[in-house]
């Protein structure tokens, strides 16, 4: 069977991990926001802004890590905007999120056209190279899949560990989770609900932007319009699929990416040639909707998600 050959090849899993990496960053970003009680629909636009910023910073002469940092900062700036409007002012998280996506997207395209008015095809940069981990990369199947990746992929996995550690093993994480479940209890302890939520939205938005930057600095080496192509919305579904838990969401992202890698390969098989390619391209979106339906019954939604908090109001 062709499918089994594909599933047992290391290159297939290496591709799946590569496809998962930007989703992991952005899913962790969305997860942080939502655990603190804020739905961040700015994700799609922030990923686009991050993809452009990281790539453009390197194109302008910065080293690769500085490019990632710039993307992070731009993401945090959009997070500050989103957080200011939704947390202290308590405005509709739906409307503000979409507004931030539209603003980040259009500002990115505006800046791109301004910075590169005459190019027909966007310039390329020297992207992150693969970085095989000594010894570990020698393990059969697992080695080439997990340990022959770019540094940004390792960073994505480290981010999951860091988010899980902070959320479940530190006082800050406890406060963050509490602020998404019962903000009044956090206030009663003398902590600032506004500060915690605003910080979470900024940190989360920064991660979303780094997820976008992965596309232009690791997966590809150039910036294209539409390159994020709905990945942000898919990450929102992945958070639900992962029941708002970091490791489960990571598993969801890898599973999802494996399906995506599989459809790319199936397109090249004799059976795939008979199916319109659009059907394959639809699969990620259809899968996301199916995942949402599947998980809806046992969703453990943070109790205060999308509920603004106004001090003194009960």
User: Which positions touch other proteins (CB under 8 A)?
Assistant: 41, 81, 85, 88-92, 94-96, 98-100, 102-103, 105-107, 109-110, 113-114, 117, 194, 229-230, 233-234, 236-237, 240, 276, 278-279, 281-282, 285-286, 288-289, 292-293, 296-297, 299, 310-312
In the bound complex, what is the minimum distance in angstroms from residue 217's beta carbon to other proteins? Answer: 23
Residue 165 or 225 having the CB closest to other proteins: 225
In the bound complex, what is the minimum distance in angstroms from residue 54's beta carbon to other proteins? Answer: 20
In the bound complex, what is the minimum distance in angstroms from residue 91's beta carbon to other proteins? Answer: 5
In the bound complex, what is the minimum distance in angstroms from residue 284's beta carbon to other proteins? Answer: 8
Residue 134 or 276 having the CB closest to other proteins: 276
Residue 164 or 200 having the CB closest to other proteins: 200
In the bound complex, what is the minimum distance in angstroms from residue 202's beta carbon to other proteins? Answer: 17
For 118, phi then psi, to 5°, come to: -105, 0
- Which of 300, 309, 231 has the alpha carbon at shortest distance from 35? 300
- 98-99-103-105 Cα dihedral, nearest 10 degrees: 10
Do 153 and 18 contact (CB within 8 A), yes or no? yes
Residue 4 or 189 having the CB closest to other proteins: 189
CA atoms lying within 13 Å on the CB side of residue 77: 12
Separation between Cα atoms, residue 78 and residue 62, nearest integer Å: 22
Residue 153 or 263 having the CB closest to other proteins: 263
CA atoms lying within 13 Å on the CB side of residue 240: 19
Kindly report the number of other CB atoms within 10 A of residue 76's CB atom: 22
Residue 155 or 234 having the CB closest to other proteins: 234
Separation between Cα atoms, residue 101 and residue 39, nearest integer Å: 13
Name, in order, each residue with C-beta under 8 angstroms of 102's C-beta and a sequence gap of 6 or more. Answer: 45
Report the helix count and the strand count for the chain, using DSSP H and E: 13, 2
Separation between Cα atoms, residue 295 and residue 239, nearest integer Å: 10
In the bound complex, what is the minimum distance in angstroms from residue 162's beta carbon to other proteins? Answer: 26
In the bound complex, what is the minimum distance in angstroms from residue 94's beta carbon to other proteins? Answer: 5
Residue 98 or 139 having the CB closest to other proteins: 98
């Amino acid at each position: 069977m062709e499918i089994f050959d594909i599933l047992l090849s290391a290159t297939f899993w290496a591709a799946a991990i590569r496809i998962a990496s930007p989703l992991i960053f952005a899913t962790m970003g969305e997860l942080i926001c939502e655990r603190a009680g804020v739905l961040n629909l700015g994700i799609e636009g922030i990923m686009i802004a991050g993809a452009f910023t990281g790539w453009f910073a390197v194109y302008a002469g910065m080293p690769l890590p500085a490019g990632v940092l710039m993307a992070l900062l731009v993401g945090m700036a959009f997070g500050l905007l989103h957080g200011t409007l939704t947390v202290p002012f308590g405005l509709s998280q739906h409307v503000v999120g979409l507004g931030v996506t539209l603003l980040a997207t259009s500002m990115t395209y505006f800046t791109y056209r301004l910075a590169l008015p005459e190019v027909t095809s966007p310039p390329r940069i020297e992207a992150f190279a693969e970085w095989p981990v000594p010894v570990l990369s020698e393990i059969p199947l697992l080695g080439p899949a997990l340990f022959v990746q770019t540094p940004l992929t390792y960073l994505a996995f480290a981010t999951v560990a860091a988010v899980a550690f902070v959320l479940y093993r530190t006082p800050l994480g406890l406060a963050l989770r509490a602020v998404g479940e019962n903000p009044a209890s956090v206030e009663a302890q003398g902590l600032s609900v506004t500060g915690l939520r605003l910080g979470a939205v900024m940190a989360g938005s920064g991660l979303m932007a780094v997820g976008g930057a992965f596309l232009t600095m690791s997966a590809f080496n150039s910036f294209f319009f539409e390159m994020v192509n709905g990945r942000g919305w898919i990450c929102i579904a992945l958070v639900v699929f992962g029941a708002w838990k970091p490791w489960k969401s990571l598993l969801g992202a890898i599973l999802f990416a494996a399906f995506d890698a599989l459809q790319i390969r199936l397109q090249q098989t004799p059976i795939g040639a008979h199916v319109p390619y659009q059907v394959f391209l639809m699969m990620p979106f259809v899968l996301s909707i199916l995942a949402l339906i599947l998980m809806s019954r046992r969703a453990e939604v943070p109790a205060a998600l999308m509920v603004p908090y106004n001090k003194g109001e009960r």
